[in-house]
Amino acid sequence: MSETQRVTDAPLLSVRDLRTVFHTEREDIHAVDGVSFDIYEGESVGLVGESGSGKSVTARSILGLVDEPGHIEDGEIQFRGDNLVEDGWDAHRGDISIVFQDPSNALNPVYTVGNQIREALSIHQDLSGAAAREEAVDLLETVGIPDADRRVEEYPHELSGGMQQRAVIAIALACDPDVLVCDEPTTALDVTIQAQILDLLDDLRREEGLALLFITHDMGVIEEATDRVNVIYAGEVVEHASTETLFENPKHPYTQALLKSIPGRTDPGQELPTIPGEVPTPTEPATDCRFAPRCPKAFDACTQVHPEPIDIEETETEHEAACLLYPDDRPRQEAVELHQSKTEDDR
Ligand code: SF4
């Protein structure tokens, strides 16, 4: 999808300054801390980060599935212009559907695949009886399950891992969604099956006009499957750009480190670089750069000033990085002051 096409359309899903906090007995965990991004119809967008970065909580927030003691404390999730945080999810249940990582957990072992698809069809499309069975068979064919008329009566354990994930996608499609959230959809699968599932999701995007949101730690999946990408760290989006731009010209030191740690990007025999340390648990609203303890480019101000998203002007398409090194065409102190004044304006 071209940038020009996107600017003329309204986003299908718009997440604005989303804040999801878990109030535990010991502390508050700011798991999602001011995340914003858009998804347009028929587009594939990635949310990438390490484990504990807040990407899965962002996905659950979008679906209205945040478990206690978590709450969406602030921000908007606009779907087709309705703010789900204010209005609730009831009017749009099924419009945003999810494919979880492990199909063997997502499927109920005591019901046939057909039963599970028919249940979703009954809730979301008011179909029952022979019509629901016929639609279930059609959906299994759509997701590439051969001999669908027979397999619709099979139990999950009778299917291979790849076929199970296809069945999970069929159940998600039975909700008749406009947006499919894919939470690590290929992590539990072996490499050849991973590629087949990504191809299937891409076909669905092209043929059915589905918008896809990939939640993943895997930069390989991002490169293969998305048009645009948001890099998330400790609850904040630290860089977003078109996928092509992000891979060619990453600006944030965290993105640069993630890209260096992709297998196949190092010379043969060279050890794969890893990012030392772990993602911190954000227990306070951010007043500094949360990546500073792990950042090879950190300087004094990084522990005192919160980096705000800065437009990377050298790139023609939308590209922002939240790092005190930018804008890099002005003296460092001036750049830091720009971030400070943006933080003050936001208060
Ligand atoms: S703000 Fe400082 S610590 Fe944070 S990513 Fe940029 S250089 Fe590194």
* Ligand 1 midpoint to CA 212 (Å): 30
Residue 280 gets which letter from DSSP?
P
Mean per-residue pLDDT, 108-127: 95
Ligand 1 atom closest to Cα of 252? Answer: 5
Give which of 247, 248, 322 is closest to 292, Cα–Cα. Answer: 322
pLDDT in tens, 190-238: 888 889 999 999 999 999 899 999 999 999 999 999 999 999 999 999 9
Are 50 and 216 contacting, i.e. CB atoms less than 8 angstroms apart?
no
Ligand 1 atom closest to Cα of 305? Answer: 1
Q: CA angle 252-66-226, nearest 5°?
A: 40
Give which of 236, 190, 195 is closest to 17, Cα–Cα. Answer: 236
Ligand 1 pocket mutation pick from 238, 239, 325 by most atoms within 8 angstroms of CB: 325
Strand partners, 13: 39, 79
Nearest CA to ligand 1 atom 8: 298
pLDDT at 271: 75
Ligand 1 atom closest to Cα of 296? Answer: 8
pLDDT in tens, 308-343: 999 997 767 889 999 999 999 999 999 999 999 999
Nearest CA to ligand 1 atom 7: 298
Ligand 1 pocket mutation pick from 254, 295, 340 by most atoms within 8 angstroms of CB: 295
* Ligand 1 midpoint to CA 332 (Å): 12
Which residues lie below 8 Å from residue 166, measured CB to CB, with a gap of 6+? 140, 143, 144, 145, 197, 200
Whether the ipTM is more than 0.90: the answer is yes
Domain locations in the chain as residue ranges: 3-95+178-264+279-287, 104-176
pLDDT at 125: 92
Ligand 1 pocket mutation pick from 254, 275, 297, 343 by most atoms within 8 angstroms of CB: 297
Residue 326 gets which letter from DSSP?
-
* Ligand 1 midpoint to CA 295 (Å): 6
- CATH code for the part of the protein at 3-95+178-264+279-287: 3.40.50.300
Cα–Cα distance list, 167 to 137, 249, 261 (Å): 11, 38, 32
Burial class (CB in 10 A: 0-12, 13-18, 19+), 260: middle
pLDDT in tens, 174-188: 999 999 999 988 887
Give which of 252, 303, 294 is closest to 274, Cα–Cα. Answer: 294
pLDDT in tens, 133-154: 999 999 999 999 999 999 999 9
Ligand 1 pocket mutation pick from 287, 324, 328 by most atoms within 8 angstroms of CB: 324
pLDDT at 7: 46
pLDDT band at 101, cuts 50/70/90?
Answer: confident
Ligand 1, CB cutoff 6 Å, lining residues: 252-253, 289, 291-292, 295, 297-298, 302, 307, 323-325
pLDDT in tens, 246-291: 999 999 999 999 999 887 776 667 777 788 889 999 999 899 999 9
- Residue 68 three-state SS: coil
Does residue 92 register a pLDDT over 80?
yes
Q: CA angle 225-230-235, nearest 5°?
A: 130
pLDDT band at 1, cuts 50/70/90?
Answer: low
pLDDT at 4: 42
pLDDT at 273: 79
* Ligand 1 midpoint to CA 309 (Å): 12
